[in-house]
Amino acid sequence: MSRNPNYFKRHAHHRAASLCKPVTDTVTTTILGAGKLRSPEVAFLMTPIRAAHKAMREGVATDMQWCYLAHAMNVAMAIERLGVVRGLRDHIHSAELALEAIQDRASATGTWKPTALHWHELDDIASAVDLHEFQLKQLSRKEFESAVVMATNEVRSTGGRVVRADWAGHITQRKSA
């Protein structure tokens, strides 16, 4: 027995209507990103940021570690603009200015050379990293993903280069053997 070729056309409306049903199952809602980031996820996200901050503080940071901190500040500012966690704009902006000054000094010769940080740069970056962790604890997975996309698109729209970091790699300086 073969089906009428118009079978799917007649039932397309039914299929479309069934796809738009609201999700009321809490497990499905959580899977779709409405649940807050859990503590292990926040710790996982903060580990490479803290490692990059440590290297920066010690004066041995690579350009990739600088990029990682800069991206974290871009995401922090995007979270601020989304309005989920508000009131941290000045702290984040101070850290962005400090990172900009560090980049200017470190790449003054044309290639990256680690540089020592001034006390106010250390303070601004340390407080912004702590505040970014606070922001992440307040977000849902979907809000975090939106902030990352917003930050990435902003960098691209201003002519910047987006560097993909290995989330599991925890960017650290390699020691020569």
pLDDT tens for each residue of 137-165: 999 888 898 899 898 888 888 877 666 65
Is residue 14 in a domain?
A: no
Question: pTM of the prediction?
Answer: 0.74
Judged against a pLDDT cut of 80, whether residue 117 lies above it is answered with yes
| Number of domains into which the chain is organized | 1
Read off the pLDDT band of 169 (50, 70, 90).
very low
Question: Which residue's entry shows tokens 């020592």?
Answer: 116
- How many Å apart are CA 150 and CA 153, to the nearest integer? 5
- Judge contact between 82 and 138, C-beta under 8 A: no
Cα distance between the two ends of the chain: 72
Structure confidence by residue, pLDDT tens digits, 25-41: 666 666 666 778 889 98
Taking the C-alpha atoms of residue 77 and residue 150, their distance in angstroms, rounded to an integer, is 10
The values of phi and psi at residue 140, to 5°, are: -85, 165
Q: Does residue 98 sit within a domain?
A: yes
Torsion of CA 97, 102, 108, 110, to 10 degrees: -100
Residue 130 lies in a domain: yes
| β-bridge partners, 36 | 140
**What is the per-residue pLDDT for 175?**
36
Closest CA to 130 of 95, 155, 80, 82: 95
- List residues bridging with 140 in a β-sheet: 36
Q: Which of 111-115, 122-126, 170-174 has the highest mean pLDDT?
A: 122-126
- Kindly state whether residue 93 falls inside one of the protein's structural domains: yes
Answer yes or no: is 79 within a domain.
yes
Q: How many CB atoms lie within 10 A of CB 118?
A: 13
* Domain-located, residue 42: yes
Percent above pLDDT 70 for the chain: 72
In a domain, 58, yes or no: yes
Q: What H or E segment, with its residue span, contains residue 49?
A: helix 39-58
Average pLDDT over every residue of 122-129: 95
Tens of pLDDT, residue by residue over 61-91, are: 999 999 999 999 999 999 999 988 889 999 9
Cβ-in-10-Å burial (0-12, 13-18, 19+) of 106 comes to: buried
Q: Is residue 68 part of a domain?
A: yes
Q: Which domain holds residue 95?
A: 35-157
More confident residue, 115 or 165: 115
Per-residue pLDDT averaged across 113-120, rounded?
91
